[in-house]
A and B are shown apart, each in its own frame.
Chain A
Amino acid sequence: SAVISQKPSRDICQRGTSLTIQCQVDSQVTMMFWYRQQPGQSLTLIATANQGSEATYESGFVIDKFPISRPNLTFSTLTVSNMSPEDSSIYLCSVAEDPGNIQYFGAGTRLSVL
């Protein structure tokens, strides 16, 4: 499986600021995804990061709040914009070779918004 580096591993941010999370893979991958996992909850897909085009967002998530970049097949960023305490969560990137198949996860970013 690919080696996925996600950073920062954690951050504490002030309300109204933005944080950009990076996900770097050691090999080219077809699919990259961004998830959120709130305390005691399951993973919720935010969006699929598409290389060279706009990300595909799931219901309830919008580009203005969670802009995503994917400039190549090994790297993606997720920005959490204009943060509020409700954005406190773990954000995870994942990769897959085939749509709908096994995904491998980065270690996650633990975000606390004050």
Chain B
Amino acid sequence: RKEVEQDPGPFNVPEGATVAFNCTYSNSASQSFFWYRQDCRKEPKLLMSVYSSGNEDGRFTAQLNRASQYISLLIRDSKLSDSATYLCVVNMGGGSQGNLIFGKGTKLSVKP
């Protein structure tokens, strides 16, 4: 089983749609969780951290389910500018300091 798995997509949605991405991770000892956004031919940029209680930032909501070892990202009222690849990132913990594991990413394309 891969350490961090995501549906690669692409997700093609119209503007204004709500879209959700899921990500599963293999190590139950993982401590930190993030969603990064990567635009085409650009570096990854932090979108948001994911907390156990769930967190929201504007149109974006992230949730963590430790029991099932998955993380989700919900985007409401999609904008054209949301088109990008969304990377699920997990710190494997267990003394692996700085060892973030990146998923392959889920590609989102928002159409007019």
Smallest beta-carbon distance A5→chain B, Å? 12
A107 and B42 contact, CB distance less than 8 A: yes
Contact of B104 among A31, A42, A100, A110 (CB under 8 A): A42
Total contacting residues, chain B, CB less than 8 A: 23
B102 and A31 contact, CB distance less than 8 A: no
B87 within 8 A of A: yes
Query: What separation, in Å, do the CA atoms of A19 and B104 have in the docked complex?
Result: 26
Best-surrounded residue of A40, A43, A104 (most CB of chain B within 10 A): A43
B43 and A42 contact, CB distance less than 8 A: no
B31 within 8 A of A: yes
**Given that A41-B104, A42-B102, A43-B102 are contacting pairs, would A102 and B43 also be in contact in the complex, using a CB cutoff of 8 Å?**
no
Total contacting residues, chain A, CB less than 8 A: 23
Best-surrounded residue of A41, A42, A43, A105 (most CB of chain B within 10 A): A42
**Given that A41-B104, A42-B104, A42-B105 are contacting pairs, would A100 and B98 also be in contact in the complex, using a CB cutoff of 8 Å?**
yes
Chain B residues within an 8 Å CB radius of A63: none
Query: What separation, in Å, do the CA atoms of A101 and B89 have in the docked complex?
Result: 10
Contact of A48 among B45, B49, B98 (CB under 8 A): B98
A100 and B43 contact, CB distance less than 8 A: no
Chain A residues within an 8 Å CB radius of B44: 43, 92, 105
B20 within 8 A of A: no
A103 within 8 A of B: yes
Smallest beta-carbon distance B50→chain A, Å? 11
Query: What separation, in Å, do the CA atoms of A48 and B100 have in the docked complex?
Result: 11
Query: What separation, in Å, do the CA atoms of A110 and B104 have in the docked complex?
Result: 18
A100 and B102 contact, CB distance less than 8 A: no
A13 within 8 A of B: no
Query: What separation, in Å, do the CA atoms of A43 and B104 have in the docked complex?
Result: 8
Contact of A96 among B45, B96, B98 (CB under 8 A): B98
Q: What are some 6 contacts across the A-B interface (CB < 8 A)? A: A42-B105, A43-B87, A96-B98, A100-B99, A106-B43, A107-B43
Interface pairs A-B: 4 shortest CB-CB: A99-B97, A105-B43, A100-B91, A43-B102
